[in-house]
Amino acid sequence: MVAVRPMRGELTIKNIEFSGEYVWLKISIFGQLKGDIVFGFPEQVALKIVSGMMGGYAITEFDEMSQSAIAELGNMISGNASSLLYNEGIQIDITPPKIVQDQDRGDLSAQNALAIPLTLEGIGEFEIFVIILN
């Protein structure tokens, strides 16, 4: 989408720490596994990603179009992961992506999550958190 191959950092288990200046995106999973996938993008990284998705057009604010683009990126990543799991015999489905607002953060931050840090060269770093519920 942005012509840069992501580099994965070291996987860890940690709580999601919501902080300002971030864009948070949540996609729920259900089926043989239940839980949530939460993307945490520093706002400037999100803007650079959206800019890359728009062919390099400069994006300076995280408006409705930017929200839609970043949600679509999360949807594509989660959809591809769902397909990979299906090929391994694990059937899941995902919900449409939702930008996490302040009032929605409380139930996610207390969860231990698998944290997957990703770096996009020339763009920046962001994390994907995977929360599997029992």
Tell me: the pLDDT tens digits for 17-43? Answer: 887 788 999 999 999 999 999 999 999
pLDDT at 68: 92
98-99/124-133 β-pairing: unpaired
N-to-C CA span, the chain: 34
Token digits of residue 74: 């999360």
- Quote the CA–CA distance of 99 and 114 in Å, as a whole number: 20
Mean pLDDT across the chain? 88
Residue ranges covered by each domain of the chain:
7-133
Residues 6 or more apart whose CB falls under 8 angstroms from that of 83 comprise: none
Which letter does DSSP use for residue 32 in this model?
S
CATH 1.10.8.50 fits 7-133, yes or no: no
Q: Is the pLDDT of residue 86 over 90?
A: yes
Band of the pLDDT at 127, cuts 50, 70, 90?
A: very high
Q: Which of 61, 72, 25, 50 is nearest to 124 (CA)?
A: 50
